[in-house]
Structures are given as C-alpha cells and as structure tokens.
Chain A
Amino acid sequence: MSEEVVFDTEGVRKNFMFLNRKAPYGTIYALEILEMILISAAFEQNTTVAFMDDGVYQIKKGQNTKALGMKNFSPMYGVVEMEKEDAEEDEDVEMVWRIVVEQESMEARGLSPEDLVLDVEVLPAAEFGALMAQQDVILGG
C-alpha cells in the first residue's frame, strides 16, 4: 500500500531577511550568506537582502582581490539585483525582493549610495528595525 506523497508548496511564501553585518574577506560570513541568498532564490520567497555595520563594505565598488588569491564576489551581487528586477517585472511572480542598507552604518563608514555596487534603499535605523520585525525568518551574521 503506497500513497503518493505530494509536497504542496504553492502559496507558502514567507518573509526572509538575509542580514549582512560582516566585512568581506576577513571572515567567511559574507560569502556564506551570499550563497544562501542565491540558493534560496529558487524557492520564490519574499526576500530582503540587508546590509548594516561592516556588512556595508561587502557592496563597496572597486574591490580587487587579485593579489589576495581570493575570489572577488562583489560582482555576484548582480544576480541579487537581477532577481529583484525579475520579481518586479514578471507578473506571474508574486514575490517581493528588496535590497536595503542601514543609513547610520553607511554614513559612519564615510560611504554613500554612489559608492555601492547595488541600487539600494537607504533606511534610517528605526525603519530598518521595523522591517526586521516584519520578517518570518532572519538569517545572517
């Protein structure tokens, strides 16, 4: 007696935030979180990619890791931007993608939106925190 098992995932859409708070290269956090984002994109969830504290440095323009012998992964964030555009343009896709930066962290590091490889929403701390409070899942480091 075997019953067919069907996983009904249609309609299951949660709010996921990927919270980046560490600088790239010094630790593995940034790359690991980026990989999580790229994998999770397949599941069509509402996704907020967020940067605060030293995480803002992950999307600083002009990274060159040649002499380090490490992969410069900042261009991979272009895929995040593509996902966001897909979510906005495709009428069959209901998921929402946002890319946000906490204003205080950015300004404390002498950076402005022009310094970043991504087109971001800059949110003051209170709005950033309110957005965190709306999430079903926060993954980060």
Chain B
Amino acid sequence: MLNLVNKSPFERLAMESCLRVAPKGSAIVFLEDGVYAVTKGTAAAAKIQAAAEGSAIYVLGPDLDARGVDRERVMDGVTEIDYGGFVDLVVEHGTPQSWL
C-alpha cells in the first residue's frame, strides 16, 4: 500500500496515524508540508528512523526545494523522488491512502 503524508507532523497527527497502522513493508511518501517530517534533528526524527527500518520512506524533491530544505538536512535512509518517481510508486504499489 502507498501512504501519502502531506501535513506537517508538528501541526497534525497524520504522520503518527500513518506510522501507527502501516504494516512493515509499506511505502510512505512525504510531500507538501509533510516534507518537514524527514528533516534532521526534529521531534519527529526518531519516529521516522524507526519507520525506515521496516518501510520505504520517500520525500518529494520539488516540495523540499519549494521550502528551502537543503539535501544535507534530509534524514539518512529517506529516498528522494521527483514527480515521475511518484507516478512509478503509484503504479507499483496501487491503492494509495492520503493521510489528510
């Protein structure tokens, strides 16, 4: 299953809800305001790190750029994708769930 998180973890519980129920082996894409979740040194970092052990974590590059997030600020183990890569993930995993 493909999980999409587009809300900041500091404003909403969308990321926490996603990480709580997503089974191991899930794909989780952080986009829009969700990209702040995968930056280093935040209060959400430990949760992302734990999730990355069982699931694949992706972040949408154009949304990092738009928010001025340098790549060295992105956590290790997070794979950056572009819009084409996003489409590939949808094709590969199907059944997306947007954690609005």
Binding site for B on A (CB under 8 A): 19, 21, 29, 52-53, 102, 104-105, 125-126, 128-130, 132-133, 135-138, 140-141
- Cβ distance B60 to chain A, nearest Cβ, rounded Å: 20
Q: Is the CB of B95 within 8 A of A125?
A: no
- Cβ distance A103 to chain B, nearest Cβ, rounded Å: 11
C-alpha gap A128/B1 in the complex (Å):
13
Find the A residue at minimum CB distance from B97.
A138
**Residue B78 at the A interface, CB < 8 A?**
no
Q: Is the CB of B21 within 8 A of A141?
A: no
Q: How large is the interface on B (under 10, 10 to 19, 20 to 34, 35 or more residues)?
A: 10 to 19
How many A-B residue contacts, CB cutoff 8 Å? 41
A-B contact pairs, 25 of them (CB 8 A): A19-B97, A21-B17, A21-B99, A52-B17, A52-B21, A53-B17, A105-B17, A126-B21, A126-B23, A128-B21, A129-B20, A129-B21, A130-B23, A132-B1, A132-B21, A132-B97, A133-B1, A133-B23, A133-B26, A135-B1, A135-B95, A137-B95, A138-B96, A138-B97, A140-B100
**Residue B46 at the A interface, CB < 8 A?**
no
Binding site for A on B (CB under 8 A): 1, 13, 17, 20-23, 26, 95-100
Q: Is the CB of A138 within 8 A of B23?
A: no
C-alpha gap A133/B1 in the complex (Å):
6
Find the B residue at minimum CB distance from A123.
B21
Find the A residue at minimum CB distance from B3.
A132
The 6 closest A-B pairs by CB, nearest first: A129-B21, A125-B20, A133-B1, A138-B97, A125-B21, A129-B23
Residues of A within 8 A of B100 (CB): 21, 29, 140-141
Q: Is the CB of A138 within 8 A of B21?
A: no
Residues of B within 8 A of A29 (CB): 100
C-alpha gap A126/B17 in the complex (Å):
11
